[in-house]
Structure 1
Amino acid sequence: MKTRFKIYKTIGLIGICIATLTACTDDLNITPNDDQTTLSEELFLNESAYEQVLAGIYANLALTGTDGAGSSNLKNIDAGTSQFGRVLLYVQTLSADEMIWSYENDPGTREIQRNLWTAQNPLLLGMFSRAHLSIALANNFLRETTDAKLDARNVSTATRSEISAYRAEARLMRAMAYYYMMDIFGKANFVTEDDALNSQPPVYDRAQLFSFIETELKAIDTDLIASRQNQYGRADKSVAYMILAKMYLNAEVYINENRYTDCVSYCEKIIGDGYTLATNYLHNFMADNNTNSATNEIIFPIVSDGLTTQNYGPTTVMINGSVGSIEVNGTEVGVSPGGWGGALRVRKQLANLFGSAFANDDRNTIISSGRSIEITDISDRDSGYILQKYSNATSTGTFGIDQTFVDTDFPLFRLADVYLMYAEAHLRGGGGSLSTAVGYVNALRTRANNSNTITSSDLTLDFILDERARELHWEAHRRQDLIRYGKFTGGNYNWVWKGNGSNGISLPAHFKVYPIPTASIAANPNLTQNPGY
């Protein structure tokens, strides 16, 4: 079992934030319609409750309920369609050119991977609701940690000395939830701890969310724990810097403003905070990535543990799903031999990025032997290449504690992404140094044991887009990248099964954001549907 911040030392932590709430309404369970919840005073008789309730905010990224992997604390929403990391992977990766899911009877997957989604898609409802639950949990924590509340409870000086950092973390996690809402849906129900309970939330658009997140993350900087000084699994200054850097890189999409100079600046902040690349690329995706050399590279993970946090999250899905139907190679990666019988395969556009120059590149974990690159029938699990990037094996040759629910944390943010963001923002006019940008790309190649390093003339925007796929595939970035490059919608770049065409067809421009779930609009009349849906 992993050593980390005890986010899950009591499996009921998310129950503390849900089951014991005195007013958990249907609106909260659906949208949530946010903040219809209050915490029991009895909970705080023990001052350790403050850390436990903070842990519940983090737990919402991994857990879906308190009664095992199949339980859900979102009413009428299945656990499999609402685990934060899993639905994030689906909306950002399955919707693009890197991944295919074989079992299209799984709710919502067919529509996501064929770009046929509607406002009734359960995965979109799961994403919308889970992100808003993060916001609600953070708001509740902030309401319960005001000076007035702490005074009334006679909270000790020792505990109070920790709470300013706790509050900053809660605000950061709320800002991150709003960041994903801004990116994926273009709007969100907007509530902070200052809003009255049971009020109908207003709706913020992208520009309003961008302004709030930027202001909030800068405001909490002095209270956040310094980079790399917090407990593993908890957020620090660099997590805030990472969100800001990604916002600035995509600012032309979000608010039609060039903020590449700011992106470079925040990338430099992160790089200057002492992160280094893992000695082995694959250490980032192994069962001991919380203790091996990846701890120097991973800026923020979604924690997974085969004993204490059993869930159908992204790493459990990808490791079991990547076991080939032909190869039955599950024992190699620390799960049951057959895994999930070939649930996941690689679209050929990703496979084609790993040509002969990448034959021995550690990032190339594609298995092609005995397989065709083509997937003409999605249900044919024997067609298409498979991938062995993620593993429930450790760097020391052992395996995770469970053969289904993996010990592998999902690297939501890591240093390699920062290197590539720096290079791209530099090319887009954000300043910095060309030689430094080239050095960062070459550092990634050298780490991957690829001797084909590049020169300044090789560093172009198209090169960076391809290199991002080679380095960051299946890490929930691809949709965002393709949108930023103008290649997600329209027909100037097609991939297999884009738009439900076997060779890909054009997508309408309004697909750059997802529709607002119908159930969410029903719960809050202030929400309106995105144009085109």
Structure 2
Amino acid sequence: MKNIKIYGCGILSILLLLVSCTKDLNQYPTIETTSEAVYTSVDGYRAVLAKLYGSFAVAGNGRGDADPDMAGTTATWGYLRVYFNLQEVPTDEVIYTWAGGDNMVELQYMTWGASDTWVNAMYYRIYYTVALCNEFLRNATPEKLAGFTDAERLDIEGFAAEARFLRALAYSHAMDLYGNVPFVTEKDAVAAFFPPRITRNDLFNYIEQELVGIADILPESFQNQYGRVSRAAAWALLAKNYLNAAVYTGTPRYDDCVNYSKKVIESGYSLNADYKQLFNADNDKRTNEIIFPIQADVEHTTTWGATTYLVNGPIVGSMQATNYGVLSGWNSFRTLREFVAIFSTDDKRGDFWKSGQSLDVDDPSSSSQGYGLVKFTNLNDDGTYKTDEGLVSTDFPMIRLADVYLMYAEAVLRGGGGSATEALELVNQIRQRAFAGTLGSISQAQLTLDFILEERGRELFWECTRRTDLIRFGRFTGNTYLWQWKGGDVNGRSVDAKFNLYPIPTTDMTANPNLIQNVGY
């Protein structure tokens, strides 16, 4: 049983101040209760906080995202499904069957423009979450809390720190995906205005200040409810941003990545002995490794996005859906030969489905081309499952310890201080789990940056890291690394560097004179 229930999204009336006045952005949550009625008790604040967490999982107020928060766009698929598509579909980890029908051809082939539906959907989902967090924080000021007891104020101030983390996470995605973006906080009036443009560098600094500022307010590791953030989540997000700082700001911050990774490593977490248990329906029990999950539950988070997508989507061909805890496969995505090639046969993580599947993909729309690969299942530890038309109870590990181990090792290799011996030890802990023994252990000489990129692919595939990783290593665009269908060519081709960033949507460029389009669009 999950500890924090996240239902559909209609909790309160929120003036959704996004980033312009176009009709595309006039998208409000369902009005059920006024803010004056909600923000009168600790329970009211807690209910709204659940809404903020839920904005990463569900996209509507009814079953299967019915009565959507943002109607009429692919944003109705929800934050996590859209985020997965932007982070994974353009890479070597995914080939998508229904690209034409789901408007993902441009995403798959890295040919998108500023009117792309998925590019726009992610942008608006990010700012929807930011707006919800801002509204919460406007109602958590000292003035608003003056009528509460000291104990109640402490509770709500803790909730506010969580809201600031969730906003920092959403803004981190905006920084990573779009670069220079509109900037709105709780200090801006709830009124129609043109939000200013913040540079990627300044947004990086803002997120850093927010996360450092809330770290000591958030509960220590394992002291918050499951599904809610602790200070280790703030440290891990800082480490991730520091690892990518050279991309975001032009200035490396590898020392800081090492330091904050070390804080997480020393805070009591440990690798789960069974890799596959991290991605099943009982993964809410893996609090030893999963630092921050996006929760799912068959009864309460009824969405066709999130992990419902990640469980059903990759079940293709002769794979039996019931073996993965659902009723039928969606035949949506497989993986590519270049990604398959980074796995050795003894690596338990590379559980490829080859029966009836070709390795090469000559026709991306053929679900029998490309090996099948299931990472997420809806199975409980004992092999039983509960589903409702394919809905699942598998949480998504947005932040987990193995990623932090690999961030530490990479930062050390990039000159960030720390211990090379410890970096090797951490990587070998991951490898020993993957190989069920020491067969996968590597030597200090083998621990190179090229190895780290491949190991991140093996360990973290389909966890929404691949695009960011390839960009950091200079292999997403250009011709340094080619994979099938990169750039729309069967054998891959060089892609313009402009695709390291997604464009600001045309609708927002038209509406807000403060914005400047990313170079090349």
Measured against the shorter chain, the TM-score band is over 0.9
Q: Does 1:203 align with 2:193?
A: no
Gapped regions of structure 1 (runs ≥ 5): none
Q: Which amino acid aligns with 2:48?
A: V
Identify which of 416, 424, 436 aligns with 1:438.
424
- TM-fit CA distance, 1:31: 4.6
- TM-fit CA distance, 1:187: 2.1
The equivalent of 1:361 in structure 2 is 347
Q: Which amino acid aligns with 1:74?
A: M
- TM-fit CA distance, 1:383: 1.5
After superposition, what is the alpha-carbon deviation per residue over 1:50-81, rounded to whole angstroms, capped at 9, x for unaligned?
Answer: 11111111110011110222432114324554
The equivalent of 2:151 in structure 1 is 158
The equivalent of 1:232 in structure 2 is 226
Asked if 2 retains the 8 angstrom alpha-carbon contact of 1:22 and 1:39, the reply is: no
The equivalent of 1:242 in structure 2 is 236
For residue 432 of structure 1, give the secondary structure of its aligned residue in structure 2: coil
For residue 64 of structure 2, give the secondary structure of its aligned residue in structure 1: coil
Q: Which amino acid aligns with 2:206?
A: F
Asked if 2 retains the 8 angstrom alpha-carbon contact of 1:102 and 1:381, the reply is: yes
Q: Which amino acid aligns with 2:131?
A: A
CA distance in 1, matches of 2:16, 2:131: 12
Asked if 2 retains the 8 angstrom alpha-carbon contact of 1:57 and 1:170, the reply is: yes
The equivalent of 2:130 in structure 1 is 135
The equivalent of 1:461 in structure 2 is 449
Gapped regions of structure 2 (runs ≥ 5): none
Identify which of 272, 293, 305 aligns with 2:266.
272
For residue 413 of structure 1, give the secondary structure of its aligned residue in structure 2: strand
The equivalent of 2:506 in structure 1 is 518
Q: Which amino acid aligns with 1:92?
A: Q
CA distance in 2, matches of 1:63, 1:465: 31
Q: Does 1:100 align with 2:99?
A: no
The equivalent of 1:73 in structure 2 is 69
Q: Which amino acid aligns with 2:136?
A: F
TM-score by length of 1: 0.92
Q: Percent of aligned pairs with the same residue?
A: 42
- TM-fit CA distance, 1:490: 0.6
Asked if 2 retains the 8 angstrom alpha-carbon contact of 1:95 and 1:114, the reply is: yes
Matches within 5 A, 1:399-414: 399-414=385-400
For residue 181 of structure 2, give the secondary structure of its aligned residue in structure 1: strand
Matches within 5 A, 1:22-171: 27=21, 30-31=24-25, 40-71=35-66, 72-81=68-77, 83-151=78-146, 154-171=147-164
CA distance in 2, matches of 1:106, 1:211: 40
For residue 456 of structure 1, give the secondary structure of its aligned residue in structure 2: coil
The equivalent of 1:425 in structure 2 is 411
CA distance in 2, matches of 1:184, 1:245: 18
The equivalent of 1:261 in structure 2 is 255
CA distance in 2, matches of 1:453, 1:346: 26
The equivalent of 1:339 in structure 2 is 329
CA distance in 2, matches of 1:474, 1:437: 24
- TM-fit CA distance, 1:238: 1.1
CA distance in 2, matches of 1:522, 1:402: 42
The equivalent of 2:358 in structure 1 is 372
The equivalent of 1:320 in structure 2 is 312
TM-score by length of 2: 0.94
After superposition, what is the alpha-carbon deviation per residue over 1:117-175, rounded to whole angstroms, capped at 9, x for unaligned?
Answer: 11111111111011111111111111111121122xx2233321201111111111111
CA RMSD of aligned residues (A): 2.1
After superposition, what is the alpha-carbon deviation per residue over 1:487-528, rounded to whole angstroms, capped at 9, x for unaligned?
Answer: 111111111100001110001111110011112223423222
Count of residues paired in the alignment: 514
- TM-fit CA distance, 1:33: 10
Asked if 2 retains the 8 angstrom alpha-carbon contact of 1:322 and 1:343, the reply is: yes
Q: Does 1:5 align with 2:4?
A: yes
Structure-2 change in CA distance of 1:22 and 1:372 (3 Å): closer
Identify which of 497, 514, 519 aligns with 1:509.
497
